[in-house]
Structure 1
Amino acid sequence: MNKPRVVVEPPDSRGLRQVSTGGKPVGSAWSLQGLRKVLSRLGYPEDLDVEDRSSISWLGGDSGTWPDRTWRRRSTIALMMAGLLGSMALLVVVGIPDAIGALTFAGRVTGFLFAFAGVAQGVAALAALDYWGKRQLKLSGAVILLGAFIALATNGLLLFMWLQEREYTPYVLTYLPLWCWSLWALRLLVREKAWRGVPHPKQFAAGVTATTLLAAANLAYSALYQPTSAPVLFDLNVKFGTPQLDIERPIIHVPVTFRARNSGQIPAYITSDGYGIYGVSAKHSSDGSGLLEWRKMMDATSDGSKVGRYVKSPTRETISAARFYGPGNWLEPGEQYTQERVIQVPKSAKYDTLEADLTLTLMRKDRGRIDEEFASPHYSWHKSDRQFYCPPVECVDQIINRGRVLHNNNIINVTRQPRYVISYYGWTGSNAELQSYVLSYEPRDVLSFSEEMAEEDKRERKRYGVAEAKAMAAVPFAQLLRANEK
């Protein structure tokens, strides 16, 4: 057999021994069995005497020097891949929804960066097989180091955001252990100087740092700055039209137009809405003593503007009331919704004025999304709807809407509990009552009110930019009568 002499190099730090012939590497082996496989590929007989110095030259040890700890090396590979793949799955789950459907461009960029970072960790998991294997790729160590750094930064960010509220979410059971894992992985990789083989290590580190800063800046912009920099602006308008006298009956038909327009740059949900049309009458006070009743008026209406010097004991009757656009609907910037109503008022009615008002409670759409369930009403008088049913003798009849609120940023969704929005439209017999709450918990009894709900709502309203808008209009009833007499 005329074959070149085989040289078995000394074991490296992991126990792997390189095999060469004629000064050229031809393979590597972890054990004597692995060496025989290399020799077999080179055409040497399977029963070759490895102690024959004329065939094999041993450097840094003999045929019994195989320091590889297989179980330890494979355990390291398994643990490294498990952490990288787990972090990859988490980042993809967090990033994809924002990358596809975030409401802002910055939010989509942040989602894309998270998803891309997840893909990079998937590549790093594959590189772990090579790095703790035969290291056929020079950059495998650097790729794993990058993956571990991404895991430390992203899971550290998620953990930091969770610590701000410390609300339980199942995701905390992933990014908390993954953050601890990333510390272990980085310590191991730094100890082994995994960056060796990178052509320009300083430029590599600068690129990683720049990418991290870009992701942090996009997150801060989309989650903090942008949702507070532009206000929600709505124009509400209520207008009485030209009345018409019924040709057959002594009734006046009065058109009323209600309009809401989003004049700002931020889309907004309607969480509660309603309009009312009222007939107002009062006794005449020729002696000017009407102002003496201001205390009585404040107790009755909480509105001092209703006090007048020459009127006493005003009364207000509801002519018509209903919801306007409906909870769960929203208006984009520049969009408007108009509703026209025609009410019938007896010509003989003893009203002094007709009044109409429109009230909307709004929630910024760039801070959260309300699910479709919120648009479905529940009626407190329906026995079939057990959770919302309340006997009329115990409760005021109410229309209830309830749904979940998802945060505007999926990064926040995995570090916070879901929020709930609940809206009430109740009828007291004289006017409609509108209420809406945003809560960090799902109320068990949706028909009971408490100070806890009020305090919780106050805090969450600031978080989601909840605000109320109202418009009113009034017309003298005598003017309507004269318009029909001409």
Structure 2
Amino acid sequence: MEKTPRVIVEPPDSRGLRAVSMGGTVVGSAWSPSGLRKLLRQLGCPEGIDLEDRRVIVWREAGSEIWPDRTWRRRTATALMMAGLILSMALLTVVGTPDAMGALTFAQRITGFLFILSGAVQGLAALAALDHEGKRQFKYSGALVLVGALIALITESVFLFTWLQEREPTLYFPVSVLLFAWSLWALWRLFHEQVWRVIPHPKRFATGVALSGLLAATNFAYSAVYQPTSAPFYVTLTAKFGTPHTDPIRPFIHVPLALQVENTGKVPAYILVDKYLVYGRSAEYSKDDGGLRDWKKALETESDAELHVSESGSKTISAGQFAGPGYWLHPGEGHIKEKVIQLPRSVEYDLLEATLSVVAMRMDRGKINLRQLQQAHPSWQKKEGRFYCAECSGMIIHEGKVRHNNNIINITRKPRYVTVLWQGTPEEFDYSYAISSYKIDFEKSPDLRELRKEIAREEDRYGVESRSISTRVSIAALMASV
């Protein structure tokens, strides 16, 4: 036994862990007598070594009966620290992956990859927490856990700040609140232990963490707010009548009509809904020179006021969709549709008018489930379920889920849907549209006041704009060219 190196057991530290050295070298640590025996067996000592033998084991400042470790408390703290970091890792990965893999702009993809990278750091911090709350064999494990807690505090603060703008209940909200509270607890615990003391340059470390958080916040603001606002968004419409031709057999005049929608901006565009209408207008001539007729009505309806036309009326000749909901245009891309309007030779109209209307949405702000949106639901068919409306006239309903191109907004708000109502009557076709959290159901009546506010807010958020153009041609000029 005299040749056996003496084992020295140091006094317990603040957590109750006692370091063990042999031959002047620290060989491990132990929480309890059983842990000490296990360590000594690994070092080659006899299995039945007497812990009270002072010739073999020296107890510094505290005897063999002093083991202040509270196993349940230590294991609970370890489990809580690891659980918070793992949950934060999962949340950051869920938030970042859709943007990293499917965002339209480079800045949004960078934001997604930053969240994934932060999630990876959280995973490493969870492994480090196991060591830091244990025997601390890795010198910088506490610093790594500190970084993980700071990341959780910063990201959850961003999530909660974004949530406060709308205050809508989501599944992610309680998770964010829980992680925010956890990050405060973790930081309090780590600062109490002064884990930064092992960091070679703590001030530089703090500056680096602060700059990283500032960079992430700036990139989020740029990708979510500035870039989707600053990039030009233009959808140009064209409507033009061509040279008419007579039908050699039937008493018709064939008038070509070319309609075009072109993306002349810098960002791709979804077309939510569109329509074209062709009117025939007739008028009665008046010699009265008393000024513009019906000018008040013209101001109210944004129509024309004329001097020599005493009465005018219009009748729909042709109506329909230009392409239908759910197609898109990349910058510089256009879509052309050519129609032939058939008029009787004995037409009584004075003017022929064509209008083209389009509602477009910026693709750099949202992504629509086009398979859903392009599916038509006739309101008069009972098999359509919640789209069925017995009291409605002829109506075709389109609905598709839309997600914002910054996933932070998606997880802090209820799902949004694009809803298009295409209505027809014997006189005219018309449409209405909305982006809101309301899924159409004719058996449930929403709060219309709140719904209108939400629709206006979502149109601005997703960059929805309406475009319309009209062109007129004289029937006399058409007949003269035949």
Same fold judged by TM-score > 0.5? yes
Runs of 4+ in 1 over 6 A off after TM superposition: 296-299, 446-449
CA shift for structure 1 position 470: 0.5
Alignment root-mean-square deviation, CA: 2.0
Cα distance in 1, alignment partners of residues 163 and 302 from structure 2 = 44
User: What is the aligned partner in structure 2 of residue 105 from structure 1?
Assistant: 106
User: What is the aligned partner in structure 2 of residue 167 from structure 1?
Assistant: 168
1:293·1:312 contact (CA, 8 Å) conserved in 2?
no
User: What is the aligned partner in structure 1 of residue 400 from structure 2?
Assistant: 403
Cα distance in 2, alignment partners of residues 294 and 27 from structure 1 = 96
Of 265-274 and 346-355, more deviation after overlay is shown by: 265-274
2:387·2:441 contact (CA, 8 Å) conserved in 1?
no
User: What is the aligned partner in structure 2 of residue 28 from structure 1?
Assistant: 29
User: 1:35-74 counterparts in 2 under 5 A?
Assistant: 35-74=36-75
Paired AA for residue 319 in structure 1: I
**CA separation of 1:253 and 1:179: change in aligned 2, threshold 3 A:** same
* Gap regions ≥5 residues in structure 1: none
What TM-score comes out, normalization by structure 1 length?
0.94
CA shift for structure 1 position 95: 0.8
Of 172-181 and 29-38, more deviation after overlay is shown by: 29-38
CA shift for structure 1 position 293: 4.3
User: What is the aligned partner in structure 1 of residue 423 from structure 2?
Assistant: 426
Paired AA for residue 313 in structure 2: T
User: What is the aligned partner in structure 1 of residue 455 from structure 2?
Assistant: 457
Deviations 1:252-296 (A, max 9, x none): 111100001111112222222100111111122234468444456
2:388·2:442 contact (CA, 8 Å) conserved in 1?
no
Cα distance in 2, alignment partners of residues 62 and 206 from structure 1 = 45
1:388·1:447 contact (CA, 8 Å) conserved in 2?
no
SS in 2 for 1:385: helix
CA shift for structure 1 position 352: 0.8
SS in 2 for 1:363: strand
Cα distance in 2, alignment partners of residues 447 and 313 from structure 1 = 44
Deviations 1:442-486 (A, max 9, x none): 2432898955543432232222222210111111111221111xx
User: What is the aligned partner in structure 2 of residue 413 from structure 1?
Assistant: 410
Cα distance in 2, alignment partners of residues 44 and 276 from structure 1 = 96
Cα distance in 1, alignment partners of residues 450 and 26 from structure 2 = 74
Paired AA for residue 222 in structure 1: S
Paired AA for residue 22 in structure 1: G
User: What is the aligned partner in structure 1 of residue 389 from structure 2?
Assistant: 390
Cα distance in 2, alignment partners of residues 66 and 385 from structure 1 = 71
Deviations 1:172-227 (A, max 9, x none): 01010110010000000000011232222222222211211110010000111112
User: What is the aligned partner in structure 1 of residue 287 from structure 2?
Assistant: 286
* Gap regions ≥5 residues in structure 2: none
2:357·2:469 contact (CA, 8 Å) conserved in 1?
yes
Of 365-374 and 314-323, more deviation after overlay is shown by: 365-374
Paired AA for residue 325 in structure 1: A
What TM-score comes out, normalization by structure 2 length?
0.95
User: What is the aligned partner in structure 2 of residue 359 from structure 1?
Assistant: 357
Cα distance in 2, alignment partners of residues 236 and 479 from structure 1 = 24
2:235·2:360 contact (CA, 8 Å) conserved in 1?
no
Cα distance in 1, alignment partners of residues 377 and 290 from structure 2 = 47
1:242·1:255 contact (CA, 8 Å) conserved in 2?
yes
User: What is the aligned partner in structure 2 of residue 190 from structure 1?
Assistant: 191
Cα distance in 1, alignment partners of residues 358 and 384 from structure 2 = 27
Cα distance in 2, alignment partners of residues 371 and 272 from structure 1 = 15
User: 1:62-461 counterparts in 2 under 5 A?
Assistant: 62-288=63-289, 291-294=292-295, 302-305=301-304, 307-372=305-370, 373-391=372-390, 394-445=391-442, 450-461=448-459
Could you tell me the percent identity over the aligned residues? 53
CA shift for structure 1 position 354: 0.9
**CA separation of 1:71 and 1:53: change in aligned 2, threshold 3 A:** same
SS in 1 for 2:38: helix
Cα distance in 1, alignment partners of residues 298 and 115 from structure 2 = 59
CA shift for structure 1 position 329: 1.6
Cα distance in 1, alignment partners of residues 443 and 115 from structure 2 = 38
1:99·1:108 contact (CA, 8 Å) conserved in 2?
yes
User: What is the aligned partner in structure 2 of residue 478 from structure 1?
Assistant: 476
Cα distance in 2, alignment partners of residues 224 and 192 from structure 1 = 40
**CA separation of 1:43 and 1:386: change in aligned 2, threshold 3 A:** closer
Cα distance in 2, alignment partners of residues 423 and 446 from structure 1 = 18
SS in 1 for 2:383: coil
**CA separation of 1:353 and 1:135: change in aligned 2, threshold 3 A:** same
Cα distance in 2, alignment partners of residues 390 and 43 from structure 1 = 84
SS in 2 for 1:177: helix
1:279·1:352 contact (CA, 8 Å) conserved in 2?
yes
Deviations 1:375-425 (A, max 9, x none): 21112233332423334xx43312221122212210111111122221122
Paired AA for residue 353 in structure 2: E
